[in-house]
Amino acid sequence: MSNALSNRPTGQIPAILGSLVIGIIVLGPVLWAFATSFKTEVEAVAVPPTILPSSATLENYIKVFQDAAFLTDLWNSVAYSVGAVVIALIVGIPAGYAAARFSFKGKRTLMLVVLATSMVPGVALLVPTYYLLESVGLLNSGIVVTIILSARIIPQTVWFIANFVEAVPVEIEDSAMIDGASRFQIIWSLILPLIRPGIAAVATIGIVTTWNDYITVAVFAPEVAKRTLQVALVNQVFDAIGISWSYMMAFVMIASMPVILMFGFVQKWFISGLTAGAVKG
């Protein structure tokens, strides 16, 4: 019965080959798009297709940045997603803290209401929200879009922060309180630094979620001055006459760069945020 011993050396070569196949499946399409973004318009549609650009050009990227609306789109993307995450943290930290530290009547109900709102899909709210916004003249409002996006990430923010705070021993707070620290001081200078990795995880997931949103902005703020990179990208797809694939792939790369970079930096936190709660013993 030397199964485990004999399996190892022979089993690893196919596993490594299998891993490479998986790697190609996962990254191949993205790398192809990346390669296309450096091709000239002529080369992008050449038959047979070339894998690597024969002479890499930055012309597509330059064209994207020269587009009149691009900087506005980029700014809107940044403003909406950062704004939404900041709002979610500002309202989520007190609620999560209270859920972890105070016991009071109705707390369970409150937390259930918060959780229940995360079960209402955004798509089911398109018609009523559009109607309500139109009737009060708030379509194409950047602030309204930011608040709507924040509501999408508030439930998870509250629940995660409650979990993080619970993991901090309450004795630390007790001794600070004896020293005369106020509740605000305790949260600001004691709790927040301790749960920083957790906050980084929810913030990252929040930024990725809101940055990648298309529907909310496309339906509630479709105006060119208010749209995001995602909306601009889809509009180009619709505008399929004379589409330049190499230009579009450059746009795709630029629109994805911030989340790719963030993901690279906080990959561990991102994954721990994803798996938290779902995997338990």
Partner 1 sequence: MDATDNANRFSWAPFLWFTPAILILFLVTLYPTIFVIWLSFQKTKYYELVGFAGLANYVEVLSSSEFWDTTVISLTYVGGSLVGAITLGMASALVLNRAGVTGSALRVFILFPWTLSMSVVGSIWLWLLNPSFGPIPYVIQKLGIDPGLMLGDPGMALPLIIIVTAWWSFPYVMVMATAAMQSIPKELYEAVEIDGGGAFVKFRYVTLTEILPTLGSTALTLSIMYLTLMTLIIVMTGGGPLGSTTTLSFEAFRGTVQAVNIGPTAVVSIVVLLINVALGALYSRLTGRVTG
* Amino acid at the residue 121: P
- Of residues 118 and 140, the one with the C-beta less far from partner 1: 118
Tell me which residues in 58-77 interact with partner 1 (CB under 8 A): none
Task: Give me the count of residues in the chain.
Answer: 281
Distances (CA, A) of 166 to 49, 99, 146: 56, 9, 29
Residues 6+ apart with CB under 8 A from 238: none
What three-state secondary structure class fits 106? coil
The distance of closest approach from Cβ of residue 130 to partner 1 in the complex, given in angstroms and rounded to an integer, is: 6
219 is a site residue for partner 1 (CB under 8 A): yes
Return phi, psi of residue 272, to 5°: -65, -35
Residues 249, 250, 269, 273: which binds partner 1 (CB under 8 A)? 249
Q: Which residue has the tokens 């021993």?
A: 169
Tell me which residues in 8-27 interact with partner 1 (CB under 8 A): 11-12, 15-16, 18-20, 22-23, 25-27
* Amino acid at the residue 120: V
Tell me which residues in 38-57 interact with partner 1 (CB under 8 A): 44-45, 47-49
Angle between helices 245-265 and 59-66 (to 10 degrees): 90
Residues 38, 160, 211, 247: which binds partner 1 (CB under 8 A)? 211
185 is a site residue for partner 1 (CB under 8 A): no
Angle between helices 59-66 and 70-101 (to 10 degrees): 80
**Cα–Cα distance measured from residue 46 to residue 236, given in angstroms and rounded to the nearest whole number:** 21
89 is a site residue for partner 1 (CB under 8 A): no
Tell me which residues in 133-152 interact with partner 1 (CB under 8 A): 134, 147-148, 150-151
Q: Which residue has the tokens 């902005």?
A: 217
Residues 154, 195, 201, 250: which binds partner 1 (CB under 8 A)? 154
Mask: binding to partner 1, 220-239, rule CB under 8 A, as x and -? Answer: ----------xx-xx--x--
The distance of closest approach from Cβ of residue 219 to partner 1 in the complex, given in angstroms and rounded to an integer, is: 6
The distance of closest approach from Cβ of residue 226 to partner 1 in the complex, given in angstroms and rounded to an integer, is: 16
- Of residues 36 and 76, the one with the C-beta less far from partner 1: 36
Nearest CA among 214, 248, 201 for reference residue 45 = 248
Mask: binding to partner 1, 99-138, rule CB under 8 A, as x and -? Answer: ---xxxxxx--x-xxxx-xxxxxxxxxxxxxxxx-x----
The distance of closest approach from Cβ of residue 40 to partner 1 in the complex, given in angstroms and rounded to an integer, is: 13
The distance of closest approach from Cβ of residue 269 to partner 1 in the complex, given in angstroms and rounded to an integer, is: 12
- Of residues 21 and 58, the one with the C-beta less far from partner 1: 21
Nearest CA among 144, 23, 129, 126 for reference residue 84 = 144
Per-residue burial over 30-54, b = 16 or more CB atoms within 10 Å of its CB, e = otherwise: eeebebbbbbbeebbeeeeeeeebe
The distance of closest approach from Cβ of residue 127 to partner 1 in the complex, given in angstroms and rounded to an integer, is: 5
Residues 62, 71, 172, 177: which binds partner 1 (CB under 8 A)? 177
Structure tokens at 146: 């930011």
